[in-house]
Chain A
């Protein structure tokens, strides 16, 4: 296949490091996340889902890229903007959507909603409604892995906003002094709700703080799937081999508002359009076609397949039973 050979030469190492099957699977997960959130948003607009939700549309490369090289029994801890992390780690989208609908078949039996999805079977220790809430928990997971001598790592996601919480400092410090197998994965999407990261932080990058904890700090383009995957692979490898934690920052952007109440008063249409042009899904697809890694037909099939799966998930969510109010307090305590 001379055509493939010539294109492989021009491929950057981060892309060349991923085989076609891995790339197809990554792209499929990105489409699943995008479609999942679009359908969740539509369901909200139609009044089928109540409460609120925090969409990560535009951030799919960081979720999928970061998790691409984790094993099933590696742990993740996620955030309020965590649908992508869940799906990337292997959650069943039908049970996720059922949770949004508040149904008994949802991951949390309708008790948690969008912000608290956990899937212990895939190592997903849960999303978190508290900014920086997962960071200290990751320290304990790291201690646990080390005490039990397991070959696992814990990847904890957090946003740029969380980097200004005290929990960030306490957690990175402890992880470093004890050389815990943790990847601190910051998704810097430029805003803590409405607060511009440049106004909230005196350094240019969250990763610039890593030297204070004597750990590697790496900043990557979070909308570039191969680049995220490559940086994450190195951090995961370091954690797994006992060399301790890494602070990895993915610079990205949420194309939707903070939550459903956001009127976008703090950013311009031009800014949003500029980031829309760097859409991580379109960008990956263009590169894959350009280098002959996946053709347009295969990509269209992947997209259609993701849409089909989300369509089926929506039917499952709609038709699932609601929880019984008599069972309200069932899970407050373990027996």
Chain B
């Protein structure tokens, strides 16, 4: 469903991104007794970002479980529960804290099926509030999704709309593999159309948010929204940008990217994670390895986070990650360069 789908359609309401996630959790728990949510302050408190809200009161303390502050232990608990027939959904309060849980996510969850010769499955979901823009500084604002996308055995998704937040989470809960869902903290209050019925968005499929003919902008998470807004400004200048919302880092939808680049002949990749060794390099390399490379009218551009921890000062914080104006400027420059 496109971003601007009418909210008047039968069974479609306007929900916030946080409400859409909560609805997905509720519908999954209603449909399947194996599903449970656990994590720090997800119960009575309703989640640090209010995502779980009233789920504790609706489903009880056995299915919406408040936990000690033990990220490594919790990630391992998700592995153990998933291995033995449950469908755990773990909330890591800030995605930065996943660094404390790397052992269980990377060594255990991702590898158990492979190491055991394909006999085991680890159907667990980890929800990770991520990203900058909240003034929480360097240890509460990172975008570490590329770290996990480097690990075979994991799936990594980044919904940018309430619609996808619900559809990708339900797909993640259904998936027989460990799936990490990176939710952007600045998106929790954004609103959009969300069907009331449970539905799944396919993991591993990018979506074209705005068709265009001059340049392809592949963007992740909140950058897809910023890129779409930049595209409206650029349209007034006669630049027609195609916005591809990647949605899934692993598996990655190379086909949709290549098809778009084949049409526009220009590529810019926009992501919040640190630019160096990041998502942009992977996407640029995939295009560079493809015959479509020969048809490009301009070099590939990456627009990513600065080589810096996220700073506290709001001016510095904005400067550390791509903003709408940065995207517009980069696209402008790229299109003009291609025209020379």
Contacts and interface: CB of A to CB of B under 8 A. Distances in A.
Interface of A: 75, 77, 106-112, 116, 118, 120, 125-126, 128-130, 133, 135-145, 147-148, 154, 166-167, 170-171, 173-174, 177, 329-335
B73 A145 contact: no
B75 to A, nearest CB: 7
Interface string B56-98: 0000001000011010111111111111111010000000000
Residue of B36, B70, B177 contacting most chain A CB atoms (<10 Å): B70
B104 interface: yes
B340 interface: no
A141 B117 contact: no
B238 interface: no
Nearest to A104: B117
A118 B113 CA distance: 10
B112 interface: yes
A142 B78 CA distance: 11
Interface string B195-212: 000000000000000000
A109 B118 contact: yes
B78 A174 contact: no
Given A125-B83, A130-B108, A170-B72, A140 B77 contact: yes
Nearest to B152: A332
Interface in B82-130: 82-86, 88, 103-104, 107-108, 112-121, 123
A126 B68 CA distance: 26
Given A118-B120, A148-B85, A136 B177 contact: no
Contact of A333 (B88, B113, B115): B113
Given A130-B103, A147-B86, A108 B77 contact: no
A331 B117 contact: yes
Interface residues of B, number: 41
A334 B112 CA distance: 11
A330 B152 CA distance: 12
The 3 A-B pairs with the shortest beta carbon distances in the complex, nearest first, are A136-B76, A140-B80, A170-B73
A136 B114 contact: no
Nearest to B155: A333
Given A106-B117, A140-B81, A144-B85, A130 B68 contact: no
B80 A126 contact: no
Interface in B111-163: 112-121, 123, 152-153, 155
Interface of B: 36, 62, 67-68, 70, 72-86, 88, 103-104, 107-108, 112-121, 123, 152-153, 155, 176-177
A72 to B, nearest CB: 15
Nearest to B36: A147
A100 B114 CA distance: 16
A174 B73 contact: yes
Contacts of B155: 333
Contacts of B86: 140, 143-144, 147-148
A106 B121 CA distance: 18
28 contacts: A106-B117, A109-B117, A111-B115, A112-B116, A126-B115, A126-B120, A128-B108, A129-B107, A133-B104, A136-B74, A136-B75, A136-B76, A136-B77, A136-B80, A139-B80, A140-B78, A140-B83, A143-B77, A148-B85, A166-B72, A170-B73, A330-B118, A332-B113, A332-B114, A333-B113, A333-B153, A334-B113, A335-B176
B73 A171 contact: yes
Given A116-B115, A140-B78, A145-B84, 10 more contacts: A109-B117, A112-B116, A126-B120, A133-B107, A140-B76, A140-B77, A141-B80, A170-B72, A173-B70, A173-B73
Contacts of B74: 136, 170
Contacts of A333: 113, 153, 155, 177
Given A173-B68, A174-B67, A334-B176, A137 B114 contact: no
A139 B85 contact: no
A326 to B, nearest CB: 15
B73 to A, nearest CB: 3
A77 B104 CA distance: 14
Contacts of B103: 130, 133, 167
B76 A139 contact: yes
Contacts of A111: 114-117
